[in-house]
Structure 1
């Protein structure tokens, strides 16, 4: 269970056809798609689009770069589009005049992108239509502690386990991404250690592709993937941020659910992760220092995304006392000016047992109050979403 997976399962490569009159554009498009390592890209000039491909060369998606639009005036283009049948067509173009736009509409394009082209926009468009089927967007959920030891790593691990327990398909579509390179606690808590030499990849992030992602991942029952590397100097390395952003992009491309354990240390990627997450779980302890840091993090996340992100405040490690707690739920809601703050009780025996046995808390004793409260929290945040 703890061994590094060194055997890469074969991936069915999908055929993408690229047509453009500009040789440089063909090379650039092919390079962007080749970097994902799951596409075979065949590039040709625009005249090749007018000819029906051989039966064994039928692509999953056609990318048609019409440039300034002169190609749209060719009388054969509509007939050629009919010959391509139901193959999704993604069109690229510069600014077009009204007549060219009408001709573009007649091609029944699946997506129309304007140039200059953003690489991520292109990849998103292709993956939405490969195999002739539209795919769902991956869901990014980030756990971050307001202060060290608040418990975000434990919650992130439990979240990955909760999603993976639904079915084998959900397990294969779930990954846990540990962005705390100082400690790599996600791997350590599960007794998983990545022995892959990351020097050549961190220094050259362009080498990281979908196939290499399969090599460097760790797997853990019930089947979710774990990416956890102990590399304390990564935030200060020249290509460190580029590596992290490439890792994030590929994880979002390959998995339906990406769970991120984000360090509370300010890094070049912290704001980017917070601003692109669909859900944020901000975990804090019931003491003044942790509360103040939690409010700062909450304010920063809201400033970057407004109301476009769901932020769940989790007061963790609440101790049950004979004469009450230091902070009531009402006082917490007043402090953050928010209703419905989640509270989790401290269960030291359960968490210690889980840590010592490299198990998820739910695997130690599923009926523990901590696990029941956590399961209810995840169900409320996820199960009602329309994926």
Structure 2
């Protein structure tokens, strides 16, 4: 056992290394002092204790080497909450436990909904830490070094209704599935617009089983049921269609949503989520877990105003703006448009690097036939624009793989 001081940090920042099982405990100086974990209280346990301020950035090497992290969180400190959200989003396969003082039940539920694996009360007691360490060790052992698949989430949200988000979701997901099919990768599209979802219609597919069967399946939801609900299109895209009957947004159980999505992540490499226009706790949590967030808008004042509000909301939730990719849909040729992409970026205070050319007859024909636009006019400008969206998602996949390799 020894203390390793990180000279790159402030003097009060240090690491106590006890074993090498990849379990890290990160506390502030005050919480270390308030705990009873030092001395011989953790005899026989293996973990690395790092002392960092609740809002301090996490060392990248520490995170890349970790299999589990117990992290102090201060709910009333925005920087501390952003740190937690960023850790969860950047490392979806990592076991994360939030250590919190005076954690009320609503806060605990919110943390669990956001993808945190467990919550530990502060000040930290050796007996409680030992119990959570045993649990984490069992989880790590269960994974057993296996290559457990954790598919990437790609969320599609909209500035306002009718901007073409579902069209982009179905077309981009289909292109993505076709492009990775030979490599053995699997892509799935979930239509989470439980009231007005049209993904199945746009792809000309129907099924007696829908998302509703998964949301109402409780503990019966498993790989077999997921396989029964999904339909495979000719491009290789697997689709879970929206419920046939309109469901109230508040009737959806958030924990069941997360159970379904986590199951999908274990069975698919990339999961596109076509989300409803109205925000819920569960839809915001899904966006927070997504590596890529496509925000679809049009180059109109009304649409851009709402898109700016959406971006502000996501930033307030601690979501990294770099994960938000604005797609300007139905963009006219320069000669005919009053608002350009540069104008839109200035209005949003956010880059607009993706756009879809306006070709209503071509898009309408493809949707009516339930086929890819590429199948009707492969050399069209709109096909290139769709390919750019897929490239953006695939580059994020590769970036995460490289990050996980270290």
Deviation string 1:247-281 (CA, Å, 9 cap, x unpaired) is 22222232221111112123342221222211111
Are positions 1:375 and 2:387 aligned together?
yes
Deviation at 1:305, TM superposition (A): 2.5
Deviation at 1:339, TM superposition (A): 3.5
Task: Note the residue ranges of structure 2 that are not aligned, 5 or more in a row.
Answer: 1-20, 24-35, 48-65, 71-96, 100-111, 119-134, 402-406
Deviation at 1:138, TM superposition (A): 2.2
Deviation at 1:179, TM superposition (A): 0.7
After superposition, the Cα gap between the structure-2 partners of 1:128 and 1:302, relative to the gap in structure 1 and judged at 3 Å, is farther
After superposition, the Cα gap between the structure-2 partners of 1:102 and 1:305, relative to the gap in structure 1 and judged at 3 Å, is same
Q: Distance in 1 between matches of 2:147 and 2:210?
A: 36
Deviation string 1:43-83 (CA, Å, 9 cap, x unpaired) is xxxxxxxxxxxxxxxxxxxxxxxxxxxxxxxxxxxxxxxxx
Are positions 1:270 and 2:283 aligned together?
yes
1:177 to 176, 182, 190: 190
Match of 1:66? none
Deviation at 1:359, TM superposition (A): 0.6
Deviation at 1:335, TM superposition (A): 0.5
Q: Distance in 1 between matches of 2:378 and 2:277?
A: 29
| Aligned-partner SS, 2:317 | helix
Whether contact under 8 Å (1:176, 1:224) holds in the other structure is yes
2:360 to 343, 348, 354: 348
After superposition, the Cα gap between the structure-2 partners of 1:222 and 1:253, relative to the gap in structure 1 and judged at 3 Å, is same
Whether contact under 8 Å (1:163, 1:170) holds in the other structure is no
Deviation string 1:317-349 (CA, Å, 9 cap, x unpaired) is 01236x441102221121012334422211112
How is 1:67-106 mapped onto 2 (pairs within 5 angstroms)? 103-105=44-46
| Aligned-partner SS, 1:295 | helix
Q: Distance in 1 between matches of 2:352 and 2:378?
A: 25
Deviation at 1:380, TM superposition (A): 4.2
2:226 to 205, 213, 224: 213
Q: Distance in 1 between matches of 2:159 and 2:169?
A: 14
Deviation at 1:171, TM superposition (A): 6.1
- Calculate the TM-score normalised by the size of structure 1: 0.65
Q: Distance in 2 between matches of 1:313 and 1:291?
A: 10
Deviation at 1:124, TM superposition (A): 12
Deviation at 1:190, TM superposition (A): 0.8
Are positions 1:154 and 2:170 aligned together?
no
Whether contact under 8 Å (1:205, 1:242) holds in the other structure is no
After superposition, the Cα gap between the structure-2 partners of 1:170 and 1:289, relative to the gap in structure 1 and judged at 3 Å, is farther
Match of 1:317? 330
Deviation string 1:219-252 (CA, Å, 9 cap, x unpaired) is 1122221111233224142x54343232222222
Tell me the C-alpha RMSD between the 2 structures: 3.8
From the CA coordinates, give the structure whose radius of gyration is larger: 1
Q: Distance in 2 between matches of 1:306 and 1:163?
A: 25
After superposition, the Cα gap between the structure-2 partners of 1:207 and 1:335, relative to the gap in structure 1 and judged at 3 Å, is same
How many residues end up aligned between the 2 structures?
298
After superposition, the Cα gap between the structure-2 partners of 1:100 and 1:165, relative to the gap in structure 1 and judged at 3 Å, is farther
- Calculate the TM-score normalised by the size of structure 2: 0.62
2:315 to 299, 302, 319: 302
Match of 1:233? 247
Task: Note the residue ranges of structure 1 that are not aligned, 5 or more in a row.
Answer: 1-88
Match of 1:72? none
Whether contact under 8 Å (1:90, 1:111) holds in the other structure is yes
Deviation at 1:208, TM superposition (A): 1.7
